[in-house]
Amino acid sequence: MIEAELKARVRAPEAVAQALDERAEARSETYQDTYYDLPDGSLRARDEELRLRYLADHGTGERRTLLTFKAAAVDDASGSKPEYETRVGDSRIAHAILEHLGYVPAIVFEKRCRSHAFEAYGRPMLATLVRVPELDGTFLEIETLVQEEEVALALDDIRAVLGELGVSPEDLTRELYTDAVAAARRTHGPGTHT
């Protein structure tokens, strides 16, 4: 499956949060993301991502770990990628397995997320307001899982939802959190808010 996704910087986070609350109940979560690569950087060079995510759900108290691999983008404009994800029983063991396979942590950072699952245009969608403590601003990600031949239509539907939420096409961004956090750390040092 392809994760058809668009990401935007949000100018009015409170208004967007309220509009999303009208569509679906919010789920508040914190992610601790570790992105891995081979020492030579070959995953990044191929536009691939390998991530171990430790997730804490603030509403239910549930904690879980997800292992995710994203292949190279199939849509250049949006960066939408094939995604393979599974739940992991023990994050320490998963980390040890990845290291024994030759992968090393490339970057680790936290995301504070407020997610809404709803249906729009006949598709299940997930809209997530994201704050990364090391970055300025709030981001909105909207995604849906589709077959590759549906990506263009799904992205049109996501653009329509963004418009309904008051997010303009000029606010869209393809910048990766990994790149933005790395740049912030080069400028301000690790763990420092920009």
Q: What is the mean pLDDT of residues 27-35?
A: 98
Domain that holds residue 99: 2-187
CATH number for the domain including 38? Answer: 2.40.320.10
Measured distance CA(88)–CA(99) in Å, rounded: 16
Residue 192: predicted pLDDT: 54
Question: What is the number of domains present in the chain?
Answer: 1
Answer yes or no: is 149 within a domain.
yes
Q: What is the mean pLDDT of the chain?
A: 96
Percent of the chain with pLDDT over 90: 96
On whether the pTM is more than 0.85, the answer is yes
By C-alpha distance, which of 162, 166, 164, 146 is closest to 154?
A: 146
Q: What is the pLDDT of residue 194?
A: 46
Instruction: Please tell me the total number of residues recorded for the chain in this structure.
Output: 194
Q: Are 145 and 80 in contact (CB under 8 A)?
A: no
Q: Is residue 146 part of a domain?
A: yes
Domain membership of residue 68 (yes or no) is yes
Provide φ and ψ at 158, rounded to 5°.
Answer: -65, -40
